[in-house]
A = this chain, B = another copy of it.
């Protein structure tokens, strides 16, 4: 038996169990006893079993299916990306299957397994908030499996990515608030694990600095969960405890901005007169809330189109060497609505 060519069948035969038992044991699924799981895993390790490796190298024909790993389909931005992906995929005779990770690493891992089992030709990925180790992607890339990352770019080498200029988007939003005459602008920051959160924070800081505004580190407030309820609570507490409360909020996404707006209004303050608010992502609801929310629009549809076009190119030109690392950066657009016009 050659190293690295062990299959699930070999393990099943050796232990006299079914292949599906082996598969489930390796994936830690429920319904398999701990004893069996241990036996299977021990043997897999002993035999140097590598999941997918064999399947990938034995693959001959194309499935004309691409897989998309996405944190949340309900996220308006991601749903526009999906539309862009489907536009290009269907036009080229490819089908699209989606898996939602709900921002959970475990689901990301099992979604990738499922998609590979299903013989997808390539993968479009926006990884979860929990993902800090990218080994599951590097392993695939080492085998020249086509992957394009969108929106969230991993901190690893030789990736192909499509992202937006989050720094510039945040810079523009903050600059706009400064130009409207707001003096004390806080930032509701996104989850720390996401590079986009850091870029938006940096854009906010740079805009303040370029306009000779004081940067108060206490006014960069992390919203790790990213729900409306969270930013509502955070904003309410902050404004209640500060007699000299801030007069503007730049939130790293529209959900946080909407929560902050609810809190501010409930405290009897007026938007935009007393407090100006700008969000990020231009959700579907943002133009409909009261007052309509200014936001940074990201070209989601275009991102999906670009990412898919690059992926299909990689699939069609499948080759033995590494893909050329490449990052396409798309520009954002600030949509000024009533919430930030003093």
- Within the assembled complex, what's the spacing in Å between the Cα atoms of A1 and B125? 44
Q: Would A95 and B86 count as touching, CB distance under 8 A?
A: no
Distance from A323 Cβ to chain B, minimum over Cβ atoms (Å): 23
Q: Which residues of B contact A258 (CB under 8 A)?
A: 288
Q: Would B82 and A97 count as touching, CB distance under 8 A?
A: no
Q: Considering only CB atoms, which chain B residue lies closest to A93 in the complex? A: B29
- Within the assembled complex, what's the spacing in Å between the Cα atoms of A64 and B29? 10
Binds B, one of A50-58, A71-79, A203-211: A71-79
Q: Which residues of B contact A93 (CB under 8 A)?
A: 24, 27, 29-31
Q: Would B65 and A118 count as touching, CB distance under 8 A?
A: yes
Q: Would A107 and B79 count as touching, CB distance under 8 A?
A: no
- Within the assembled complex, what's the spacing in Å between the Cα atoms of A139 and B96? 23
**Is A281 an interface position by the 8 A CB rule?**
no
With A18-B61, A98-B100, A285-B289 known as contacts, the answer to whether A76 contacts B74 (CB < 8 A) is yes
Report how many copies the assembly holds.
Answer: 2
With A99-B97, A289-B289 known as contacts, the answer to whether A65 contacts B117 (CB < 8 A) is yes
Q: Would B24 and A64 count as touching, CB distance under 8 A?
A: yes
Q: Which residues of B contact A97 (CB under 8 A)?
A: 97-99, 114-115, 118
With A98-B100, A285-B285 known as contacts, the answer to whether A20 contacts B64 (CB < 8 A) is yes
Distance from A47 Cβ to chain B, minimum over Cβ atoms (Å): 21
Chain A 87-114 near chain B by CB (<8 Å), digits 1 or 0: 0001111011111101000010011011
Q: Which residues of B contact A30 (CB under 8 A)?
A: 91-93
